[in-house]
C-alpha cells in the first residue's frame, strides 16, 4: 500500500484498503476557522449531541477576517469563540493566533501518521509531515466533531518524482506551480499526490509545506511527503504525544508516476486566472504591477520572509507599488523581528501586518480595485479572488514577488542585483 492507504487502513482497523473503497475512519484532529466554523457549529447543534467527541482533538482558529474587519465578521468570529470556549476546545485568540495551516504544525498539533480533516481546502498542507490531511465541507466537519469519525473514499495515489538540484531562487512554490502547469487543475482530481526525489529531499520543511499546500490546486485530496531526518528534526521538539511514521510498501501500487528534471525548472509565475497558467520567469514579458503580497498559508513562513528580506534589503519598493507582508504566525513574526527582517521590510517601504489570511481570499488588508494587478505568494488567482473581478492576480515565490515590488513590474531577483 501507499502512505495514504496505510494511514487510512490504520484508522479503520483494517489490514488493507484499496482505491475506490468507501471507509469510515477515526480522526486525530478536526479543524475549522472563522469562516467555516459557524456552519459546522450549526450542523453540530442539529445532530443533537451536547459535547464534541474529544475537546483536545478539535481545533478552531480565527484567521480569515481576524482581527475583525467589520460587524458581520465580528459576529461570525463570536459564534466560533463562544462555542470553542464553551466546549473547551483548542482555540487561538487574537494575539496568539496565526494562519491555521502555519500554526498547527508549529504547535505540534499535527504529527506523522495522523489523519486530519479540516473545513478548509488547504488542510492538505500537513502532508508535509507525512500525515494524511484533507479538506471537507462544514457538514462533514460537524459529524467529525460529534463522533470522532468520518467517511472517505480511498484515493488512488500518483507519485511525482523530481530529479536533480533546483536552480538558484527556485523553491517549493516553483516546483508545485510547474507541476500544476503541467498536469492542470484537475490533473490529480480526487487523488493523493506523493512527492519524492532529490529535489524534494533538498527542500526545507517550509518549502515542503508550500508544495503540500497547493496539492489541492491540482484537484488532489492530499499531498504527502515521506518522513525523513528533516521532518524528524522539525517534529520532535514540538511533539507532545506519540506518533507513527508511515512509509509506503516497496511494492506499493500507484495510479501513475510522473517525473521531472527539477534542474531545468525556472522560477514560475502563474498568470490569471488559474494556478495552472504557469510560465517560467524568462517568458513573462513586461507586466507592470500595483501591488505585491508576501504571506498566506502557502508562503508566510520564516524562510519565505527571509527570501523576501534578502531581495529587499537596502532597496526601496517602486513608487506607486503597494508591498504588503504578512507573517504566518506570531512566532514567525517574532523570529523575523529578531533576524532584522521586519526592519528591512519597513525601511524598504513595505507594510507589515499582524498574522492573518488577509487579501488571499479577498478578505481585507489589500483588496484590489478594478484594473489593478497584484503579484502574490498566495495559492489562487481565480477571477475576483483578491477583489474586483476586473483585477488580476499573478502567483510566484517570495523572491520573485519581492523583486517585482522593487521593479514595479513582474521580474526575478537576478534583475535587482
Q: What pLDDT digit, counting tens, does each position of 354-406 carry? A: 999 999 999 899 999 999 999 999 999 999 999 999 999 999 999 999 999 99
pTM (two decimals): 0.95
Helices (DSSP H) in 60-117: which residue ranges? Answer: 71-87, 100-106
pLDDT at 94 (0 to 100):
92
Quick one: 179 and 280 in the same domain? Answer: no
Give CA–CA dist 362/387, Å, rounded.
5
Residue 51, pLDDT > 90, answer yes
Q: Which of 295, 358, 298 is nearest to 63 (CA)?
A: 358
Which of helix, strand or coil describes residue 6? helix
Instruction: Give bridge partners of residue 280 from the DSSP assignment.
Output: 268
Count CA atoms within 13 Å of residue 264 on its CB side.
6
Quick one: 244 and 369 in the same domain? Answer: no
Residues whose CB is less than 8 angstroms from the CB of residue 253 and which lie 6 or more positions away in sequence, other chains included:
1, 2
Give CA–CA dist 156/281, Å, rounded.
33
Give the total number of structural domains in the chain: 2
Mean pLDDT of 176-202: 97
Handedness of CA 319, 301, 163, 115 (dihedral sign): negative
Quick one: 304 and 377 in the same domain? Answer: yes
Give CA–CA dist 94/358, Å, rounded.
14
DSSP class of residue 161? E
Quick one: 238 and 283 in the same domain? Answer: no
Q: Which of 166, 415, 240 is nearest to 315 (CA)?
A: 415
Give CA–CA dist 413/61, Å, rounded.
34
Count CA atoms within 13 Å of residue 364 on its CB side.
13
With cell 504578512, the residue in question is 326
Quick one: 90 and 230 in the same domain? Answer: yes
Quick one: 82 and 187 in the same domain? Answer: yes
Q: How far apart are the first and last CA of the chain?
A: 48
Q: Which of 241, 260, 279 is the last residue of a domain?
A: 260
Quick one: 249 and 390 in the same domain? Answer: no
Q: Report the share of the chain in percent with pLDDT over 90.
A: 99
Quick one: 302 and 411 in the same domain? Answer: yes
CATH number of the structural domain spanning residue 72: 3.30.499.10
Quick one: 162 and 211 in the same domain? Answer: yes
- What are the grid coordinates assigned to 234, written together? 522539525
pLDDT at 417 (0 to 100):
78
Residue range 322-347, pLDDT digits in tens = 999 999 999 999 999 999 999 999 99
Per the CB < 8 A criterion, the answer to whether 112 and 243 are in contact is: yes
Q: Cis omega (within 30 of 0) on the bond before 353?
A: no
Quick one: 245 and 279 in the same domain? Answer: no
| Bridge pairing between strands 132-135 and 373-376 | unpaired
**Alpha-carbon separation of residue 136 from 31, 37, 77, 112 (angstroms):** 10, 12, 20, 20
Residue range 214-270, pLDDT digits in tens = 999 999 999 999 999 999 999 999 999 999 999 999 999 999 999 999 999 999 999
DSSP class of residue 18? -
Residue range 262-295, pLDDT digits in tens = 999 999 999 999 999 999 999 999 999 999 999 9
With bands split at pLDDT 50, 70 and 90, how would you rate the model's confidence at 88?
A: very high
Which of helix, strand or coil describes residue 22? strand
Q: Which of 217, 236, 260 is the last residue of a domain?
A: 260
Residue 316: domain span: 269-416
- Torsions phi, psi for 270 (to 5 deg): -90, 120
Quick one: 215 and 319 in the same domain? Answer: no
Quick one: 111 and 224 in the same domain? Answer: yes
- What are the grid coordinates assigned to 52, written together? 464534541
What mean pLDDT is reported for the chain?
96
With bands split at pLDDT 50, 70 and 90, how would you rate the model's confidence at 42?
A: very high
Residue 416, pLDDT > 90, answer no
Q: Which of 216, 232, 260 is the last residue of a domain?
A: 260
pLDDT at 155 (0 to 100):
97
Crossing angle for the helix pair 172-183 and 205-213, to the nearest 10 degrees:
30
| Exposure b/e, 306-338, CB count within 10 A at least 16 = b | bbbbebbeebebbeebbbbbbbbbbbbbebbee
Amino acid at each position: 500500500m501507499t502512505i495514504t492507504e496505510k494511514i487510512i487502513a490504520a484508522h479503520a482497523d483494517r489490514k488493507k484498503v484499496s482505491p475506490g473503497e468507501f471507509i469510515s475512519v477515526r480522526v486525530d484532529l478536526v479543524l475549522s476557522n472563522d469562516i467555516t466554523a459557524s456552519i459546522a457549529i450549526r450542523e453540530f447543534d442539529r445532530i443533537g449531541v451536547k459535547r464534541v467527541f474529544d475537546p483536545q482533538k478539535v481545533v478552531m482558529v480565527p484567521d480569515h477576517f481576524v482581527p475583525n474587519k467589520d460587524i458581520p465578521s465580528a459576529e461570525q468570529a463570536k459564534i466560533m469563540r463562544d462555542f470553542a470556549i464553551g466546549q473547551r476546545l483548542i482555540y487561538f485568540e487574537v494575539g496568539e493566533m496565526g494562519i491555521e495551516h502555519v500554526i498547527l504544525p508549529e504547535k505540534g498539533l499535527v504529527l506523522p501518521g495522523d489523519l486530519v480533516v479540516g473545513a478548509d481546502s488547504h488542510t492538505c498542507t500537513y502532508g508535509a509531515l507525512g500525515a494524511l490531511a484533507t479538506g471537507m465541507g462544514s457538514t462533514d466537519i460537524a459529524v467529525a466533531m460529534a463522533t470522532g469519525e468520518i467517511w472517505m473514499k480511498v484515493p488512488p495515489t500518483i507519485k511525482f518524482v523530481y530529479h536533480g538540484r533546483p536552480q538558484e531562487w527556485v523553491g517549493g512554490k516553483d516546483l508545485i506551480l510547474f507541476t500544476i502547469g503541467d498536469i492542470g487543475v484537475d490533473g490529480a482530481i480526487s487523488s493523493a499526490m506523493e512527492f519524492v526525489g532529490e529535489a524534494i529531499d533538498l527542500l526545507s520543511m517550509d518549502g515542503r509545506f508550500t508544495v503540500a499546500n497547493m496539492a489541492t490546486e491540482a484537484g488532489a485530496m492530499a499531498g504527502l511527503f515521506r518522513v525523513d531526518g528533516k521532518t524528524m528534526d522539525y517534529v520532535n521538539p514540538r511533539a507532545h504525544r506519540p506518533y507513527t511514521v508511515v512509509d509506503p510498501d516497496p511494492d506499493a501500487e500507484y495510479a501513475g508516476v510522473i517525473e521531472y528534471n527539477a534542474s531545468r525548472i525556472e522560477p514560475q509565475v502563474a498568470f490569471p486566472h488559474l494556478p495552472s497558467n504557469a510560465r517560467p520567469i524568462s517568458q513573462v514579458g513586461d507586466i507592470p504591477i500595483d501591488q505585491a503580497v508576501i504571506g498566506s498559508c502557502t508562503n508566510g513562513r520564516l524562510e519565505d520572509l527571509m527570501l523576501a528580506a534578502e531581495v529587499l534589503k537596502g532597496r526601496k519598493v517602486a513608487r506607486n507599488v503597494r508591498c504588503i507582508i504578512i507573517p504566518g504566525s506570531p512566532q514567525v513574526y517574532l523570529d523575523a523581528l529578531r533576524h532584522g527582517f521586519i526592519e528591512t521590510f519597513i525601511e524598504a517601504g513595505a507594510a507589515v501586518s499582524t498574522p492573518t489570511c488577509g487579501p488571499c481570499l479577498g478578505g481585507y488588508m489589500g483588496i484590489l480595485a478594478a484594473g489593478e494587478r497584484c503579484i502574490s505568494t498566495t495559492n489562487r488567482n481565480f477571477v475576483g479572488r483578491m477583489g474586483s473581478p476586473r483585477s488580476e492576480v499573478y502567483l510566484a515565490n517570495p523572491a520573485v514577488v519581492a523583486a517585482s515590488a522593487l521593479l514595479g513590474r513582474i521580474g526575478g531577483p537576478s534583475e535587482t542585483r
